[in-house]
Amino acid sequence: MGGLALLEVRKSYGGTEVLRGVSLRVRPGEVVALLGPNGAGKTTLLRVAAGIARPSSGRVVVDGKDMAGEPQAARLRVGFAPERPAAYATLTAHENLTFFGELYGLARGEAASRAAAALAAAGLSHRSSDAAGALSHGMRQRLSFARATVHEPSALLLDEPFEGLDAAHRDRLVGILREKGGRATLLTTHMAEAALEVADKVALIDRGELVAIEPAAGLTPDGLGVRLRALGGK
């Protein structure tokens, strides 16, 4: 089973069930945008898919590797960028990416060259020697995307990737995501327009349940916005 598969995933914190039997398949080369009101379970679903949080029940499978049965093999195949861009503030942008490349099994020389390529793709080559802590929020967001892709994962998980980006870099990221390759990409966003530009499918989640999965081609930003407001107003 290639790509990313979430099978009947449930997640509870204390007595509260945050995910209620979510099943979702993202095929290789496919981009799925996950939309929903605040607290719907979008970030939790991404954290479970990334192997950061363990599901209470259900399975996560990445490129045929079960996250519970073969966690290291599954995690090697995943790239994850959290909503709040995280990096080691005193390491340079290039050092941050090289470190993560090595952590994901690349030899140091290869990690360094892939880091340089990822920084170039993110438009950060000119800041590669600067400490990550000295970058603006938007630049750290781009660095976070570059870090998530430096080891060329099979599945890419992006939590609000357009947040904090100016129009030019938002368009640039949309372009990169459209290139796809053989990568399965699952992203969350509250920007209906960006979601429809980049995604093949749109999944709507509300109160921990997937309520719809539809091809993006048949949807409009306004129509999607109306449906999201209806979910949030329930």
Partner 1 sequence: MSLRIVLTLARKDLALEARTFDILALMAILAVTLLVAFRVAFDAGSAPVSAAAALWVTTAFLAALGLARPFHAEAEAGTLDLLFASPATAIDLYLAKVIAAAAVAAFGALTTLALVLFLFGPDLVREPLAVALLLALGVVGLAAQASLLSAASAGARARGALFAVVFLPLVLPVLLWGVQGTQAAVDGSGTGTVFTACALLAAYDALFLSVNSVLARFVLQG
Which residues of the shown chain bind partner 1 in the complex (CB under 8 A)? 47, 50-54, 71-72, 75-76, 78, 80, 82, 84-91, 95, 99-100, 102-105, 147
Coil, strand or helix: which one is 195?
helix
**Pairing label, strands 57-62, 65-66:** antiparallel
Q: Which is closer to partner 1, CB of 91 or CB of 174?
A: 91
Q: How far is the CB of 211 from partner 1 (least distance, A)?
A: 26
For residue 139, give Cα distances in angstroms to 22, 86, 95, 130, 205: 33, 11, 15, 11, 29
Q: Which is closer to partner 1, CB of 4 or CB of 50?
A: 50
Which residue type, as a one-letter code, is found at position 33? A
Q: Which is closer to partner 1, CB of 89 or CB of 226?
A: 89
Q: How far is the CB of 80 from partner 1 (least distance, A)?
A: 5
Q: How far is the CB of 102 from partner 1 (least distance, A)?
A: 5
Q: How far is the CB of 231 from partner 1 (least distance, A)?
A: 27
Element (H, E) at 75: helix 71-76
The tokens for 80 are: 């994850």
Q: Which is closer to partner 1, CB of 91 or CB of 176?
A: 91
Give residues with Cβ within 8 angstroms of 192, minimum separation 6: 35, 221, 224, 225, 228
Q: How far is the CB of 212 from partner 1 (least distance, A)?
A: 28
* Distance separating alpha carbons of residues 87 and 94, to the nearest angstrom: 11
